[in-house]
Amino acid sequence: MKYRILGKDLKVSEVGLGCMGFSHAYGTPTKKQEAIQRILQAVEMGYTFFDTAEIYGTSEDPHQNEVLVGESLKHCREKVVIATKFGIHFDMKSSAVNKPLIPDSHPKTIRTSVDASLKRLDTDYIDLYYQHRTDPNVPIEEVAGVMAELIKEGKITHWGLSEADEDIIRRAHGVCPVTAIQNRYSMMARWYETLFPVLEELNIGYVAFSPLANGFLSARYDRDSKFDSDSDYRSMMPQFSNQGMAKNHELLALLHKTAKEKSATPAQISLAWMLCKKPYIVPISGTRNPERLKENADASEIMLTAQEVEALDNALNTMEMSDVFGGSKIVKK
């Protein structure tokens, strides 16, 4: 595994592990000991960057994921980077499998959240603390001010923004320097590439979540793939529908062709494409499978030339592909 620097000085593994799927959104949660084993295997493979959030859990145990991550990494806490998030909760009145999100980044809420996360993670500090979604009711300058206070108090060491646009990034950074944004990014979700010049100007890292388009770009699914409609977000994602599969035929063919040329897998090409695109991009892919864990880590070793990346971009620009899941609905209150 190779390593990268986010922002000024946050060193992380070139590929991180998104831990959400152990507890939330991808069907029945993984059994605790199995999930701990997977996280420990990731550490052994060289992963040092682990991502969670206060809302990743089940209706019975809403904060399960932070507890799981904290217990798994306690023995090597000084050697890893833990990222978690504040600022949203689910609209529990909704019957949707992917319930709408309600933002809340009031200073009092943030302070309650950070103390609770520190306790669940069983740690004295959080390495990277993200605002999970922008709150239209709280100026970002006020949120950034709280982050500066938390850094001064030693509760967090760095902070970031998730699904943020240029205006929010600039305003936040002007109050308290932002280390990283965590936005959706994959071959099927490229709309935030417009932020690259801003990130380079301000020296901010880009942590890419859903880098495999929720697993679709692993090319391991087909029209016969089934997902639990009660607990698996993929059951309603357009890229996994029959129509989506048909539209994405050319994209999958491109991945298979490139993978064969590079003696790699489609998932590795999808990750290597963004790793070779910019030195400050760090994908956080999630998996419960130890073989996939190793496969994703090894994407760090796949090298694509600038010409190969450009050729892939040109192909993506011109081919037909389905819509891709863009995130849960935000409820503005």
Handedness of CA 75, 148, 106, 231 (dihedral sign): negative
Catalytic residue among 56, 130, 221, 280: 56
At which residue do the structure tokens 């859903």 appear?
A: 210
138: tokens are 């709280």
Identify the helix (H) or strand (E) that includes residue 88: strand 88-90
**Rounded CA separation 276/309 (Å):** 7
Examine the residue annotation and report whether 221 is marked as an active-site residue of this protein: no
Q: How far is it between the farthest Cα atoms of the chain?
A: 54
291: Cα separation from own chain's centroid: 20
The beta-strand segments (E) located in the chain are 3-6, 10-13, 16-18, 49-51, 81-86, 88-90, 101-103, 128-131, 159-162, 180-184, 205-209, 281-285
Q: Please provide the size of the chain in residues.
A: 333
- Tokens describing residue 196: 């690259």
User: b/e string for 52-87 if b means 16 or more Cβ within 10 A?
Assistant: bbbbbbeeeebbbbbbbbbbbbeeeeeebbbbbbbb
Q: Which amino acid is at 222?
A: D
The continuous run of DSSP H or E covering 161 comes out as strand 159-162
Taking the C-alpha atoms of residue 139 and residue 311, their distance in angstroms, rounded to an integer, is 41
Known catalytic residues are 56
